[in-house]
Amino acid sequence: MAEKHSCRWRRTADRQAEQLREQQAALEAQQAELEAQRAEVARLTAQLAELQQQLSKTTKQLVGPKSERMPSPEDELKKREGQRPARGGYTNPDKRRLTAEQKATMEAEVVTHLVPEEQRHCPHCGQEAKSIGEGEMSVEWEWVPGHFEKRLHVIEVLRCPCKQHYVRGPAPARVQEGCQYGPGFIAKLVVDKCADATPIYRIEKEMQREGIPVARSTMNDLVHLAADVCKPLYDAALAAIRTDPHVQADETSFRTQVRPDKSFMWTFLSELYTVYVYNPSRSGDTPTSVLGGTTGTLTVDGYTGYNHVTDVDGRERTGCWSHARRYFFEALGTAPEARQALDIILDLFQVERSAKSRGIVGTAAHLELRQRRSREALDRLQAWVAQTKPLYEPRSAMGQAIGYLENQWTRLTAFLKDAQIPIHNNASEAALRIIALVRKNSLFFGNDAAGRRFAVLFSLIAMCDKHGVNPVEYFTDVLLRIQDHPKSRVAELLPHAWKSSFGRAADSSAPQPSTDAS
């Protein structure tokens, strides 16, 4: 092969070719740098959109007017229809003396417990027994609706002159032996603390105004005593909810004084029962302990902690349209098109409202209504998603809303095959509102044992509310009745059963409490 000749023109051509290659390499480097800059701009743009969405959401929550916060489906439907929508410590001796003086000067109702007539005569000589002194006396602080009262229980004591017969009247029933506080008083404390979220120190102030000097530590002990007495009822409700085919669940955080990390209060509810479960952890151990090994449906949000009981052999997991709706509402600030999705989802709630107004909830007619009207709305929503999804980045607010909808679609549409499955988990979220209020007012549980005790009381009060039972009346009766009730039939004292057997509702002449579960 002949070698290339070398001349001035060849050398010039080679030099120009080398310059062109260098320029091409420089251009390619610039192009790569531009591509990297474009990618960085895209990333920053997406991050800016995400931060703007978070800022908009936080602003609405903190300082936004009520009109900018997400309205409930009920309010939206009304608008569519044209309607308006215990710690120990030092005790001051002067305070203790003053408390004793106040107790001593209070007026008291004297309740005399006489010896039954059949026991007043000596079985040995037949003579009538005579009184020994003024009888045995004990003090009880009780709450009577509208006021407190002090009762002096005087137990009559008789002795026959022959000194072979000694008899005393029946002792007053007590929640616990030696307890000076009546069941009504304890019931009032429990309801104030757990139903109305009133901190004990505020209750103490109320007691002082009423002239009842009760120490804060004593009130804490009484609330815990009520939980211990009612624990068998809680266990019965917990066992019963395991067998229910349709359960809803949710959880929220709560601080415990003895641990730095947050603890959690879980709620599991069905048609009859509402049960709270305290656990220091948010792991799936709690759902497993409550519903593990059971079948049926479980309506929850997207939290993975429930996966332990919704595996192949467990419960079928169903979704919550309120959660899906919330994602689209949060996207409204940057994507007004989200209103179209919100309107379609509202049609699903309209179907449920129609079923409720016709009194067919949970029936075959309700299922037929879902199959006809809800399925048509879901088809429209799917078509809208297919059209809208390519227009938004996955990390944007709208992209996340659409992603949640697609990931949860099978669970969100499970209600089409069973009229008993709710389309949302609002009931569980509503059940946790009292926990959030207590968390705000009382800040923390003292320890894990206190958290478990309060779970007992929260559960019974929630079931009273569910079935239209006055919780003060319920605890006043049950705190004594449970002591003599057969343990094998303790479920008969749960609020819905107590109401029909022992409550005022069992008396046809008594006013019927409202059963509205709103």
pLDDT over 50 (residue 292)? yes
- Asked if the model's pLDDT at residue 474 lies above 50, the reply is yes
At 402, list the tokens.
Answer: 């659409």
**Segment (H or E) for 24:** helix 8-62
Sorted by where each starts, the structural domains of the chain and their CATH numbers stand as 106-172 (no CATH), 221-317+428-506 (3.30.420), 322-409 (no CATH)
Encoded tokens for 508: 């046809």
What does the DSSP 8-state code read for residue 243?
T
Residues 62, 478: Cα–Cα separation, whole Å: 43
Pairing of strands 147-155, 246-256: unpaired
β-sheet bridge partners, residue 246: 297
Could you give the CA distance from residue 496 to residue 517 in angstroms, rounded to a whole number?
A: 13
- Residue 402's CB is within 10 A of a number of other CB atoms, namely 26
Nearest to 57 by CA among 301, 333, 323: 333
Query: Does the structure show a pLDDT above 70 at 248?
Result: yes
Residue range 316-333, pLDDT digits in tens: 999 899 989 999 988 888
| DSSP reduced 3-state for 200 | helix
Q: Which of 137-151, 241-255, 414-428 has the lowest mean pLDDT?
A: 137-151
- What is residue 83's predicted lDDT score, i.e. its pLDDT? 62
Average pLDDT, integer, range 431-441: 90
Q: Is 181 strand, coil or helix? A: strand
CA nearest neighbour of 322 among 405, 239, 387, 397: 405
Token reading at 33: 């740098």
Write the secondary structure of 402-427 as one string of H (helix), E (strand) and C (coil): HHHHHHCHHHHCHHHHCCCCCCCCHH
Flag whether pLDDT at 119 surpasses 80: yes
Report which secondary-structure segment, H or E, holds 251.
strand 246-256
Residue in 309, 255, 269 with CA at minimum distance from that of residue 454: 255
Of residues 271, 253, 234, the one with CA closest to residue 459:
234
Q: Measure the CA–CA gap between 70 and 57, rounded to whole angstroms.
A: 10
Round to whole Å and give the CA distance between 172 and 488. 26
Convert the pLDDT of each residue in 153-187 to its tens digit. 888 888 888 888 888 888 888 888 888 888 988 99
Nearest alpha-carbon partner for 169 in 125, 121, 120: 120
Query: What is residue 391's three-state secondary structure?
Result: helix
Task: Spell out the residues 6+ positions from residue 171 whose beta carbon is closer than 8 angstroms to its own.
Answer: 113, 155
What is the reported pLDDT for 507?
Answer: 41
Q: Are 467 and 510 in contact (CB under 8 A)?
A: no
Please check the confidence at residue 206 and state whether its pLDDT lies above 60.
Answer: yes
Q: How far apart are the first and last CA of the chain?
A: 97
Q: Measuring CA to CA, which residue among 253, 283, 284, 246 is closest to residue 268?
A: 246
Angle at 203 between CA 264 and CA 274, to 5 degrees: 35
Q: How many CA atoms lie within 13 A of 402 on its CB side?
A: 25
How far is residue 228's CA from residue 207's CA, in Å, rounded to a whole number?
24
> Using CA atoms, how far apart are residues 392 and 210, in angstroms rounded to an integer?
63
- Residue 89 token pair: 């410590």
Average pLDDT value over all residues in the chain: 83
Higher pLDDT, 294 or 131: 294
pTM of the predicted model over 0.85: no
pLDDT at res. 32: 86
User: In sequence order, what are the residues at sequence separation of 6 or more whose Cβ sits closer than 8 angstroms to the Cβ of residue 166?
Assistant: 129, 157, 158, 159, 160
Question: Contact at 8 Å (CB) between 255 and 444?
Answer: yes
Length of the chain measured in residues: 518
